[in-house]
Chain A
Amino acid sequence: MKDSTMPVFAVVGHPNKGKSSIVATLAQNDAVAISHRSRTTEKATRYTISTAQGSYDLIDTPGFQRPTKVLTWLKERCGDASQRLATLRQFIDDPECQQQFPDEVELLTPIVQGAAILYVVDGSRPYSKSYETEMEILLWTGQPSMALINPIQNSDFVDEWERALHQFFKSVTVFNPMLADHTKQIELLDVFAHLNSSWRNQLEKIANALQENFEQRKRNSVNLLCRLLTDVCTHEIEQKVLTEDQAKTIEPILQKRFTSDIKQRESLALQELLANYAHLNTEFSIQQLELPPDLFDCDHWYAWGLNKKQLVIAAAVAGAVSGAAVDLAVAGHSFMLGAIGGGLLGGSSAYFASDKIVNLKVKGLPLGGFTAHYGPIIHKNFPYVIIGRFLFCYQQISQLTHADRRSLSIHATDFQKSIEHLEKSQQKELHQVCAKLSKQRIPEALYTALMPLFD
């Protein structure tokens, strides 16, 4: 059961004038069906816009199909203005009307039940008298209402529409769901707040919560970039093989895999960025990231897959632990010489004997071999490239409305301009974190260095 004090708006109008687009943008929901085909919306569908501070409902409705006949039906059964709402109730409850005028019954039902009216028209096409029948029916409901002029292709007829709509609605606003960024959406919510005084407080709170949501999404975007940078800048793959020749043979395989890993990781980050802005149906293509050459390397490994450094450390630790055990067994009378001596002995043995271990065989299997490495990318420009590409996507996605269903194309981009807008100290911090990333160190100040780029 819905809370009766919750603001509810029914988005109504002629077919194919962008009602669903407006609902999709305001509900930030790209699952709302939109197409150039009329009658895409056949049933009134309720979308709840929930925030931490409250929620409101938008009802996407089918367009008017038989307004003249409906108005005639209503007029035939209504004596005076006081009976209009009752006649409308009679209309929506009448089984015959439900069969003859299913679209009008669908769209009028939520309004009769208390929803405010958002009447949508196309400002790029001329006004005509035929719309007046629809507006007259809406007047019969007596519900708070406003008109939204959606300039679908251009604004050529907006003035004409404004003049006409003001005859029927107190509030007329131009709202383009394809271009309305979050500020415009919140501004529209402020206008909604004036339609019904009992909803004002709640809608103002929701507007504040939506603003906070937007900020949170921005923070999440920065975090996504931090994680992407950390992952791709430190990524490396390796394969242990027996001979150096084998290592060189698999270089193309490693290269292919490495490139694919980086591409997939970047795609995932973009998918998550889209999901962060609730764009789950948006398709995108990414221009291939060009990786620097010379990422292949090959070195020895020794016993148990450890390289020389690891082997020495492991042996030193093992020696020190064994020596410490001896120290404990003699209740500390050895003055920790056991641990120190054990560590030194283990470490030095591993250091000097490692070259011999590599040639040893156990049951015909060699104890040592080679490791083919691919990555990490140490080129100092690499973090900038990743940041630039991500930032380009962020700028597109954060402005993309949920009515806009085009697919995105991500190109390599120079984000020099974004950096130039930063203060000197911020630029310095960014350069420092990028320098650390190119050395596979994770800077603690990564988030704070990247945040100004998103402002």
Chain B
Amino acid sequence: MHCLSIHSTTLTSGFSPLKLVWPIALSGFVVGCFLSFSIVSGDQLGRVNLFYLLFIFVFIPLLTALLSMITLITKRGISFASLVIKLPLLSNAQRQTLRQMQQLKIDRHWLFIQGQYAAIFYACGGLVTFLLLLLGSDVNFVWRSTILSPEDIHPFLKWLAMPWQFWSEAQPDMSLLIATQDNRLMVPNSANPEFSHWWKFILATQLCYSLLLRLIMILPIRWIIAQQIKNDFEQQLKQTINRHQKTPSTSFVHADIVHQLPNELCVVNWAEFSQQELSNVSAIKNFPLIEISDLTPDQTERSLLVLVKAWEPPIGELEDFLKEHNGFLYPIDFKHNNVIGLEEKDCEEWQRFTAQLTQWNMFQPPFNNTSENSSAQDTMS
């Protein structure tokens, strides 16, 4: 039995940009190797034109760096990386990530970085080939020109070598320049050891203009990508969702409701209901009604039936009063002066309140004639 794992693009996972696309890097490396080999291998006498080397190790890298910068800034132009990813070689997951990068508006930056990787691998290919040929072959660096003299070239080479002024051996030297000028009509002087002295200068140009420049170019763009992802509204929303913690719900104790009252009670009109309203409250008709101010010490020992407005939540003043007495709380709701059943939320509120008072019960008459009442009764039961 086969155990299968299904590979699919995750539509809901967090975003991380595509990593290095190896075909791009490999292509850069191969081109670097072959270009370097074709130039550095030189002619039958191992002579290599210094200008050709500057072409592939300085001119091409600088030109392509400039082009990729222009492409990035102007959002136009064709980059090597964009051509490669247009080939239908990417997997579903990679295509999905590419689409996400377009959504995040970092696709150009990513392509730019891929271009820099291609250039870095191009430089590595060139460097490896160059060093291998230096090791395994006699490379004679010469230069030829019909119209340029050593005096014309030297300032340009000095300017090129400015970034590695600390490395004196890799600096272009006027005497070396004069000594390595070549002319194909002249008999080659293969015994001249100075022909090989340019290698440090060439190596430094590769390191500086091919390798270091691209590494430096990658850093700010990587930072821009990171910032872009961080500032993207959807990423921020995702972070907000992930950070959010739901508050646990709390539960409360509800007092039971009694539907029967004892025979002896004093009614206290805490809610200050009007006489008209009170006349509609049938449950209190058999009991004497007293004002709070009229409560005498002996009455405080008797059980009270305290009338309250069902829709007004219990407040501290009522609680203070109830703590000094005992009896029944009777929340009443009216509609057009008629007593109606309590709303569920009001009923629960009074049940919670009564549950905190040890000497008190919540009273409600047994309603059964309206739908509101019956719903209240359901809740109560």
Contact = CB atoms under 8 A, between A and B. Distances in A.
Interface of A: 14-16, 31, 33, 36-38, 63-69, 101, 103, 122, 125, 128-130, 220, 223-224, 226-227, 230-232, 234-239, 241, 246, 250, 253-254, 257-258, 261-262, 264-265, 267-268, 271-272, 275-276, 280-281, 306, 309-310, 313-314, 317, 321, 324-325, 328-329, 331, 442
A223 B252 contact: no
A329 B38 contact: yes
B38 A328 contact: yes
Chain A to chain B: the 6 pairs with minimum beta-carbon distance, closest first: A65-B316, A237-B8, A38-B313, A36-B345, A265-B11, A325-B34
A224 B234 CA distance: 7
Contacts of B37: 329
Nearest to A262: B11
Interface string B241-272: 10010110000100000000000000000001
B316 A103 contact: yes
Contacts of A250: 4, 6
Interface of B is mostly: helix
B99 A234 contact: yes
Given A129-B272, A235-B9, A241-B4, A31 B240 contact: no
B249 to A, nearest CB: 9
Contacts of A224: 234
5 contacts: A14-B312, A37-B349, A275-B240, A309-B88, A313-B88
Contact of A313 (B89, B96, B317): B89
A234 B98 CA distance: 12
Q: How large is the interface on B (under 10, 10 to 19, 20 to 34, 35 or more residues)?
A: 35 or more
Contacts of A275: 237, 240-241, 244
Given A234-B95, A253-B6, A325-B34, 20 more contacts: A15-B315, A36-B348, A37-B352, A63-B313, A66-B317, A67-B317, A122-B311, A125-B312, A220-B234, A230-B103, A235-B96, A236-B8, A236-B92, A241-B2, A241-B4, A261-B8, A264-B11, A280-B244, A314-B87, A324-B34
Interface of B: 2, 4, 6-12, 27, 30-31, 34-35, 37-38, 87-89, 92, 95-96, 99, 102-103, 233-234, 237-238, 240-241, 244, 246-247, 252, 272, 309, 311-317, 319-320, 345, 348-349, 352
Contact of B8 (A31, A38, A257): A257
Nearest to A130: B272
Contacts of B87: 313-314, 317
A38 B244 contact: no
A321 B9 contact: no
Contacts of A254: 6
A226 B95 CA distance: 17
A14 B349 CA distance: 15
Contact of A253 (B4, B12, B247): B4
Contacts of B35: 328
B92 A272 contact: no
B293 to A, nearest CB: 13
Contacts of A36: 345, 348-349
Given A16-B349, A220-B233, A329-B38, A231 B11 contact: yes
Contacts of A103: 316
Contacts of B10: 261
A125 B10 CA distance: 53
B348 A64 contact: no
A238 B93 CA distance: 10
B315 A265 contact: no
A253 B12 CA distance: 19
A268 to B, nearest CB: 5
Given A325-B34, A329-B37, A68 B6 contact: no
A275 B241 CA distance: 7
A239 B4 CA distance: 8
A350 B94 CA distance: 24
Given A230-B99, A234-B96, A329 B34 contact: yes
B246 A65 contact: no
Nearest to B37: A329
A230 B88 CA distance: 19
Contact of A276 (B7, B88, B237, B314): B237
Contacts of A264: 11-12
Contacts of A306: 89
Nearest to A240: B7
Contacts of A257: 6, 8
Contacts of A33: 247
B58 to A, nearest CB: 18
B12 A265 contact: yes
B317 A69 contact: yes
B27 A261 contact: no
A380 to B, nearest CB: 20
Given A234-B96, A239-B6, A306-B89, A65 B237 contact: no
Contact of A237 (B9, B38, B312, B315): B9
A314 B313 CA distance: 77
A280 B240 contact: yes
B12 A272 contact: no
Contacts of A314: 87, 89
Nearest to B353: A38
B246 A281 contact: yes
Given A241-B4, A258-B8, A125 B233 contact: no
A237 B6 contact: yes
Nearest to B35: A328
A257 B4 CA distance: 13
Contacts of A227: 103, 234
A436 to B, nearest CB: 14
Contacts of B11: 231-232, 235, 261-262, 264-265, 268
A164 to B, nearest CB: 15
A442 B233 contact: no
A224 B88 CA distance: 28
Residue from B38, B99, B272 with most neighbouring chain A CB atoms (10 Å): B38
B309 to A, nearest CB: 8
B2 A246 contact: yes
Contacts of A329: 34, 37-38
A272 B7 contact: no
Nearest to B102: A442
B88 A125 contact: no
Contacts of A261: 8-12
B349 A280 contact: no
A64 B348 CA distance: 20
A272 B234 contact: yes
A271 B242 CA distance: 11
A238 B4 CA distance: 12
A329 B37 CA distance: 8
Contacts of A235: 8-9, 11, 96
